[in-house]
């Protein structure tokens, strides 16, 4: 089975590719010759994931899935949420985003937050949605250089290390994306059997 993952992000592509069984060939936007950045104009993670998957399915005639992920911080009323990638500006600086969050939470005792990934799948003229959530805390400062995005300031529930410090295998087994992708993989396995 061939399926497109609507992303240009090599880190996300590799993370998901490791979770998929060998019989599913994962193609990126670059693999299908789609070089444009698909506009994310939705007001929710669900809307953005659908927009990106529909763009590929309608424009290229291919089965596709897309994800959108957000960090939702309790003390910031769910921000940055759908604006997670560009929270500190359109330049999409992970470092700038982390600095902004840490600054906004400075002195705030409520560090509760969660990552949420929504996957929208277009497969054989049907649409499906899968979701993964991991709860945790925003740390006081950055720890670790692994992962990407907010990983160095997010400590998942039940762990003493941030996503930026945890080995990739550990992160892949517990992350929001891993949880959503596992639901997608289970679904695809059932479709192909």
d(CA 130, CA 96): 29
Q: Nearest Cα to 56, choosing from 46, 67, 45, 44?
A: 67
The reply to whether 68 belongs to the active site is yes
- Cα→Cα distances 147→127, 158, 164, 172, 191, Å: 30, 18, 5, 10, 31
**Secondary element (H or E) of residue 2:** strand 2-5
Per annotation, catalytic residue among 30, 31, 37, 68: 68
Please tell me the distance from the alpha carbon of residue 152 to that of residue 134, in angstroms, as a whole number. 15
Peptide bond into 80 cis (omega under 30): yes
Residue 45, phi then psi, degrees to nearest 5: -60, -40
Q: What is the distance between the alpha carbons of residues 60 and 33, in angstroms, rounded to a whole number?
A: 10
Catalytic residues: 68
């Amino acid at each position: 089975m061939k399926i497109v993952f609507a992303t240009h992000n090599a880190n996300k592509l590799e993370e998901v590719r490791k979770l998929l069984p060998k019989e599913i060939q994962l193609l990126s936007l670059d693999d299908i010759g789609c070089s444009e950045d698909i506009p994310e104009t939705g007001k929710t993670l669900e809307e953005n994931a659908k927009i990106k998957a529909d763009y590929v399915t309608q424009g290229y005639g291919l089965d596709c899935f897309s994800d959108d992920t957000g960090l939702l911080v309790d003390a910031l009323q769910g921000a940055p949420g759908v604006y997670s990638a560009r929270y500190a500006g359109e330049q999409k600086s992970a470092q700038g985003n982390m600095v902004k969050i840490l600054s906004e939470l400075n002195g705030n005792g409520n560090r509760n937050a969660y990552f949420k990934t929504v996957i929208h799948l277009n497969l054989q003229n049907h649409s499906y949605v899968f979701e993964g959530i991991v709860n945790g805390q925003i740390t006081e400062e950055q720890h670790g250089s692994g992962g990407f995005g907010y990983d160095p300031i997010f400590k998942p529930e039940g762990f003493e290390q941030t996503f930026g410090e945890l080995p990739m295998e550990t992160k892949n087994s517990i992350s929001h994306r891993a949880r959503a992708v596992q639901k997608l993989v289970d679904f695809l396995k059932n479709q192909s059997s």
